[in-house]
Amino acid sequence: MRLQTDPTHFSITAFLADQVTLVARQEQLSPGAAVLRIQELSRDTAGRARLLEIISDAWRKETNPTESSKIAALRSELAAWALHATPSDSLPRS
């Protein structure tokens, strides 16, 4: 499955869809389970760092230059959020 991200134009829909695709691939999960995993990882700094690591691993393994550039763009956007978010940015758990 090709990724949806266009490195020249940010799209939140593509950003989220591609996170799900990459986490599903890397962690060998169904798309629904990947969404839950992303939610789990997004709760704290360590989880966000792990999510960034999952995306980085996918980027290192990708051999198609077009797909690699999409993952690099996704990684860049995710890093900006993941590395600057603080625990107080998280919503309380229900």
pLDDT at 12: 85
Rg (the chain; Cα; Å) = 13
pLDDT at 9: 75
For each of the chain's 94 residues, which pLDDT tens digit applies?
Answer: 577 877 777 788 888 999 999 999 999 999 999 999 999 999 988 999 999 999 999 999 999 999 999 999 999 988 887 766 555 545 444 4
Report pTM. Answer: 0.79
Instruction: Please write down the long-range contacts of 76-79, taking CB distance under 8 Å and 24 or more positions apart.
Output: 77/10, 77/15, 78/15, 78/19, 78/51, 78/52, 79/52
pLDDT at 87: 53
